Amino acid sequence: MRRGLIIILAIILALFTFSENEIYKKDIRNRLVIQGIGIDLEEDGTYTVTLQAIDTNSSEASSADGASQPPLKSYKLTGETVYTAIKSVTEKEGKIPLYSQNRIILIGKSITKENMNDVIDFFVRDVEVGGTVYIAAAEKTAGEILTAKNGKELISAQTLENSIESYEYDAKIFATELYELINRYNSGSKDFALPLFSLQENGEEKSAEIVGTALFDNTEYREVISKNETIYLNVLSDEVYNTAIAFDGGKGTKVSLNIVKSKTKRKVTLTKDVPTFKIQVYMDADIAEISGGVSSAMTVKQIEEIKKKGEEYVEKSINATINSLYHKHNSDACGLGRLLYIFEKDFYRKNEKNIDSVLKNSLYEVDVQLNIRRIGHEYLSDY
């Protein structure tokens, strides 16, 4: 009797749960899998959100570049806030957006450091949005990139993501994930940097390429540094995994090095209330190419010379980047200000409000040590 009552109760509870219909709402068939989100701020204060989502209604995808990719569809949505704009896609598709598979968030030119907080608040609050989604800036509007077609196919968010992920092989890209952005945004200077996408047109063929790094240091507008400067921005941030550099090797040669490992040690000391940042860079590199130069065996002396030239070149480039960041653009995108916060907290507390000028007037000592590991298949001579 008792067991029967328990079973009946369980069935009733289950029926109630069933009847709520909740189980069907979030079923994967009722979800619109979003791959890319582009956000632009209009002059009237509304947001235009461009969504790129997987189109499950179309047939199997063909691909322009040989790799298979799912069929995509783009939506242009407007709303007073980012969330209301995105949510309006439910009216068009009858499906609930699934943010967890989102690969990239593109920020249009109209969004600056000042209103960045309004834009990313939704992504911070929502549980589905992963903190590891890449965030990038568009040279003009995010909408134009996410709706652009390469032939018949949309330029996919996956392609954009792959471009950013190539930072592991090429330090010309300053990759930023959402949680890193929030971390920097909530730190003292609130300066941050994002990779900058630009739409390139070649007849009917369009492509989105990273043309540099956008610095968000000014509340009103943003500034851009070149890809070459981005390499050294990554060096300063200790975010170089693998990259290539080329420099004048002397005697009419151009040397290309493949940097396989790079480690940057950063220290700060205070001398008479003037911070001195000591930046030590250790690089392991392989000689990839020497053009216009050696056709016979390399000598140890030659390698030493290349090494010395390389160190000088890197040191010079880092100094140029520091100059560009702190003196020209007034940006602490590489996060050196954080060193002050951690190691000289009293000084930082005293100068928190004018940290930008402190960093501008600080001293920077750069020391580079380059280690040539391999020289390729060229054989080495003792002479």
Partner 1 sequence: MITKGRISAFQFYVMLFLSRTLTTVTYISSYTKDVRLSDMLVQPIFRIIFGIIIMIPVYLLYKKYENKNLIDIANERSQGFSKVLSIFYVIVFFYFTVVTIARLDVFTGTVVFPETNVNFMIIFVIIFCCYGAYLGFEALGRSSVLSAILVIPAIIFILCALANKVDLLNLSPVFYNGVTPVIKTAIDSVGQTVEYAIIAIALPKVSGKITKGFFVWIFSQTLLMAILFFFAGAVMGNFASTQLFPFHTLASLAEFAMFDRLDAIFTSVWIMCAFIKASLLIFLQADILSKAFPKVRKTSFLVIIGVLSIIANLFVAGEIERFSIIDNSIIKIIVTGITVIIIPIIVLILQERRALKNA
Partner 2 sequence: MVIFMKNNWFQKKVEEITMDEKESGQKTTVNTDLDFNVRYFKSQLGGSFDIKYRNCTVGDKNFVFVMVDGMCDSLLITEQIMNPIINADFSNVENKNIVYDAADRVSASIDKSITNDLDKAIAELISGNLVMFADGSQFAVLFGVQKFPKRTPLEPNTEMQERGSREGFVESFKDNITMLRRRVRSPVFKIETVEVGTTSKTRACVCYMSDRVNEKTLQKVIDNLKNAKIDTVLGSGYLQSFLDTPHPSIFSGVGFTERPDVVTAKMAEGKICIIVDGTPNAIIVPYLFIEHFHSLDDYLKRPYYATFIRLLKIASFLVSVFLPGLYVAVCTFHQEIIPESMIFGITGQESRTPFPIMLEAIFIHLVYEIVREAGLRMPKTVGHAISIVGALVIGESAVTAGIVSAPMIIVVGLTAVSSFVVSTLYEPVAVLRFAFIIIGGLSGLYGIMLSFAVVLINASAINPYGVPFTSPMSPTKLGAWRDFILRSDWRKMGKRQMLIDKMEK
Query: Does the footprint of partner 2 cover residue 66 (CB under 8 A)?
Result: no
Query: Does the footprint of partner 2 cover residue 28 (CB under 8 A)?
Result: yes
Are 215 and 194 within 8 A, CB to CB?
no
- From partner 2, partner 1, none, interface partner of 28 (C-beta below 5 to 8 A by class): partner 2
Query: Does the footprint of partner 1 cover residue 13 (CB under 8 A)?
Result: yes
Residue 379 DSSP one-character state? P
Cα separations (Å) of 297 from 21, 145, 253, 285, 380? Answer: 76, 49, 15, 19, 5
Cα–Cα dist 179/327, whole Å:
28
Residue of 207, 203, 306, 209 whose CA lies nearest to 258: 306
Query: Does the footprint of partner 2 cover residue 70 (CB under 8 A)?
Result: yes
- Report, in Å, the least distance between residue 182 CB and partner 1: 4
Paired strand residues for 368: 281
CA 50 to chain centre: 19
Question: Which listed residue (223, 341, 358, 368) binds partner 1 by CB under 8 A?
Answer: 341
- From partner 2, partner 1, none, interface partner of 27 (C-beta below 5 to 8 A by class): partner 2
Cα-flanking dihedrals φ and ψ of residue 260, to 5°? Answer: -95, -25
Cα separations (Å) of 177 from 8, 109, 196, 265? Answer: 51, 19, 14, 23
Nearer to partner 2, 21 or 295 (CB): 21
Cα–Cα dist 278/82, whole Å:
42
Nearer to partner 1, 308 or 349 (CB): 349
Q: Which of residues 266-295 bind partner 1 (CB under 8 A)?
A: none
Rama region for 245: left / alpha / beta (φ>0; ψ in -120 to 50; rest): beta
Question: Which listed residue (17, 63, 90, 226) binds partner 2 by CB under 8 A?
Answer: 17
Query: Does the footprint of partner 1 cover residue 343 (CB under 8 A)?
Result: yes
Nearer to partner 1, 177 or 305 (CB): 177
Query: Does the footprint of partner 1 cover residue 335 (CB under 8 A)?
Result: yes
Cα–Cα dist 285/231, whole Å:
15
Question: Which listed residue (5, 23, 186, 296) binds partner 2 by CB under 8 A?
Answer: 23
Task: List residues near partner 2 by CB under 8 A.
Answer: 14, 17-18, 23-24, 26-29, 31, 33, 54, 56-57, 70, 98, 100-101, 103, 128, 130, 158
Task: List residues near partner 1 by CB under 8 A.
Answer: 13, 16-17, 20, 22, 25-26, 100, 124, 127, 130-132, 179-180, 182-183, 185-187, 335, 338-339, 341-343, 345, 349
